[in-house]
A and B are shown apart, each in its own frame.
Chain A
């Protein structure tokens, strides 16, 4: 362990960490939005659309993220899609995670008790109102824990972006290791940064979950 070395490379490590957080948060947010849209669209009784979206989910869940990223970054130009490494990385994370988020939201919709929807139907509420006021809140609450889980997994998938030269944390760590021949120091620094990220995500997630489900526990709710 060499503190001087770590100190010297700290600026590049911090910049790498910044890029990691940026790619993860933007990619994750886009993935959430896209995944939600897919789950919602799959509820429409239009078969071709359902099949198409199902195929999308199967492809992006069923193939390695690394391969998707390569295709997007190196194969993209062949179909006129010229992206910078970072843009390709963010888009790749968004597409990849959207497939998982779509499944999480689908399960969330499935977890809404039929009785709650029947109650809304029996008072004559319109389908859109039922969706907005009954189905969605219940589905989102059910989906919150697996969403936080997926976001944590996604934060660690960002290391793959180093392979298409996105200057994120893994990339900086590899550079540091190559320039100084110190594998351990570099890896140690990386572990600390990732731990920092995951720890704050899971804490934030736990707080959000608690807030969302406070009313479910007899003592926890604030009226």
Chain B
């Protein structure tokens, strides 16, 4: 079986009259790192959220390792919502990291990581604590296991959130602007963890504004505007040789702002 890890075919989505996604095709292979870039409001976060069905899509297919997520196709072209249980089973395999971390504030770092292991993977308290400790060490927070989120910096909180997703041993990881809410000097530590994940062969789909990171770590870049993928290819192609005016304009603004 060589199905791509993530495969989107003609994905469409509207919020009322507003069409956010207009037939998006995208595939992410095993161990591939793909960055989604584009102006705000272009639909990149919505697209990412469709991959684990936190957001439902209206048309097209989103397949994870060959399996349609969110819906069940019946004979005769009828489509009905997937059972909640099957959807949960699929979500277990898809790690997600949010812009605002979304840690549970009433739990310590280690409990944040251990909680899903106990409730979803069915580990005992001891097993979950062991795995959580190992995951926190991996993101460089072995010493802060018993701190509450409010006692951690934004960068540390985001690393706990990454550990929480990783501990589930997902097949792939989704990142929704993981560094956008961070102070500039805390961005590096989070990107470093993501870089090492990529090096270990994790399949990753990342919405980001960190162009330098995208250029160095991504295997492919997809540029989204107005709910469509306008250009796609290796970083070198998108950043330097894109023929699309919209892409060039976007990158030019970016370049102007970040050079001094």
Identify the A interface with B (CB < 8 A).
113, 115-116, 118-127, 129, 133-134, 137-138, 141, 215-218, 221, 223
A115 in contact with B120 (CB, 8 Å)? no
Query: What are 22 A-B interface contacts by the 8 Å CB criterion?
Result: A115-B98, A115-B102, A116-B102, A116-B103, A118-B54, A118-B102, A119-B98, A119-B164, A122-B165, A123-B95, A123-B96, A123-B164, A123-B168, A125-B88, A126-B88, A129-B119, A133-B104, A138-B106, A216-B105, A218-B150, A221-B150, A223-B108
Identify the B interface with A (CB < 8 A).
52, 54, 84, 88-92, 94-96, 98, 100, 102-106, 108, 115-116, 119-120, 146-151, 161, 164-165, 168
A126 to B91, CA, bound (A): 11
B106 in contact with A137 (CB, 8 Å)? yes
B116 in contact with A123 (CB, 8 Å)? yes
Kindly provide the distance from the CB of B200 to the nearest chain A CB, expressed in whole angstroms.
20
A113 to B102, CA, bound (A): 9
Quick one: which of B91, B150, B161 has the most chain A CB within 10 A? B150
A218 to B154, CA, bound (A): 13
Quick one: which of A116, A123, A223 has the most chain B CB within 10 A? A123
Residues from chain B with a CB closer than 8 A to the CB of A137 are: 104, 106
A141 to B150, CA, bound (A): 15
Q: Which residue of B lies closest to A123 (CB)?
A: B116
B165 in contact with A123 (CB, 8 Å)? yes
Kindly provide the distance from the CB of B94 to the nearest chain A CB, expressed in whole angstroms.
7
Q: Which residue of B lies closest to A140 (CB)?
A: B106
Residues from chain A with a CB closer than 8 A to the CB of B89 are: 124
Residues from chain B with a CB closer than 8 A to the CB of A134 are: 104
A11 to B31, CA, bound (A): 81
Given contacts A118-B98, A119-B104, A141-B106, contact A223 B88 (CB under 8 A): no
A221 in contact with B98 (CB, 8 Å)? no
A120 to B161, CA, bound (A): 11
A119 to B165, CA, bound (A): 9
A124 in contact with B102 (CB, 8 Å)? no
A215 in contact with B96 (CB, 8 Å)? no
B150 in contact with A217 (CB, 8 Å)? yes
B91 in contact with A123 (CB, 8 Å)? yes
Given contacts A118-B54, A217-B150, A218-B151, contact A124 B104 (CB under 8 A): no
Contact pick for B148, options A122, A127, A141, A221, CB 8 Å: A221
Residues from chain A with a CB closer than 8 A to the CB of B95 are: 122-123
Rank and list the top 4 A-B pairs by shortest CB-CB distance, nearest first: A223-B146, A115-B102, A119-B102, A124-B92
B88 in contact with A215 (CB, 8 Å)? no
Residues from chain A with a CB closer than 8 A to the CB of B106 are: 137-138, 141, 215
Kindly provide the distance from the CB of A164 to the nearest chain B CB, expressed in whole angstroms.
43
A215 in contact with B168 (CB, 8 Å)? no
Kindly provide the distance from the CB of A145 to the nearest chain B CB, expressed in whole angstroms.
16
A124 to B84, CA, bound (A): 10
Kindly provide the distance from the CB of A127 to the nearest chain B CB, expressed in whole angstroms.
8
A126 to B100, CA, bound (A): 22
Seed contacts A115-B100, A119-B102, A216-B150; 14 additional CB < 8 Å A-B pairs: A115-B98, A118-B54, A118-B102, A119-B96, A120-B116, A122-B91, A122-B95, A123-B164, A125-B88, A127-B84, A133-B115, A134-B104, A221-B148, A223-B147
A133 to B94, CA, bound (A): 21
Quick one: which of A113, A118, A124, A127 has the most chain B CB within 10 A? A124
